[in-house]
Amino acid sequence: MADKTKKALCAVNLMLTVFTAVMCFVYRANYSIVLKAVTASGFVLMGAVNLGYTFFAKKKILFPLLIFFGLSLCMAGDVVLFNDFIAGALIFVLGHLLYIAAYCVLCKPAWRDVIVTVAVSLVSVLFVTLYPAFSYGSFLMTAVAVVYALVISFMLGKALSNAIRSKDGVSLTLLAGSVMFFVSDLALAFSIFGGDPSWASPLCMFTYFPGQCVIAFSVYLYNIKKQLP
């Protein structure tokens, strides 16, 4: 990739990240489903731009493709979640599964993945089921919370395992984005099921949207790597 093209693509990623960050403040001040969709469109556009360049750079397409569709499902989950929590959560689960698949494409599954993922999952499930502040109101909502905790723990666990193994820019960026996604979901759980403390909603918003931008940016880093994973 020519240096000028790299700089131009990086600039586009930066502009879309700034757009998403600004829209976070706009959306928080004027809570509406339209503004939520517009805010989420920033990271989807980042994924689309970076995916588009993957074709021209003649890189392997599966990782960028999975990330792009994961970003798209997260945007869809955002919109649906506005009116239907369970349906939105299920769409987010699908998005997480695509991210997990992308992480597995980046670094083939290994025994370290199992160890790290089980550890993260165990802590997550115990927390969402035993923390006294959480009240789900029904067996169905408890089950949804547990399933969601397992899926996002698998995502974070695989990202952590990849970063430990390869320590390259793509894996470290994905780990940062996955941690932000994990924190945003934890904050969302407090907001909906844990008494809605004052810090929960802003923490959820300002880790979720930027976190998705970080995940989308990993495709840019993937495209400019000299060697494929």
What is the per-residue pLDDT for 56? 82
CA atoms within 13 A on the CB side of 62: 10
pLDDT of residue 2: 67
Residue-level pLDDT at 91 = 93
Average pLDDT, the chain: 91
d(CA 184, CA 167): 24
Between CA 112 and CA 107 the distance in angstroms is 11
> What element of type H or E holds 144?
helix 139-166
Q: Which two tokens stand for residue 207?
A: 């880790």
User: Following CA atoms 87, 78, 45, 18 in sequence, which dihedral angle do they give, to the nearest 10 degrees?
Assistant: -160
DSSP 3-state assignment of 196? Answer: coil
CB 200 within 8 A of CB 170: no
Q: Give residue 167's pLDDT.
A: 83
Confidence at residue 229, expressed as pLDDT on a 0 to 100 scale: 43
Could you read off the pLDDT of 150-191 as tens digits, one per residue? 999 999 999 999 999 888 899 999 999 999 999 999 999 999
pTM metric for this prediction: 0.92
Q: Give helix then strand counts, H and E, for the chain.
A: 8, 0
Q: Which residues of the chain have pLDDT under 70?
A: 1-2, 226-229
Q: Is 191 helix (H, G, I), strand (E, B) or coil?
A: helix
Question: Cβ distance 7 to 203 under 8 Å?
Answer: no
Nearest to 200 by CA among 182, 181, 187: 187
**Residue 94 one-letter amino acid:** L
8-state DSSP, 227: S
The sign of the dihedral angle between the CA atoms of 123, 126, 129, 131 is negative
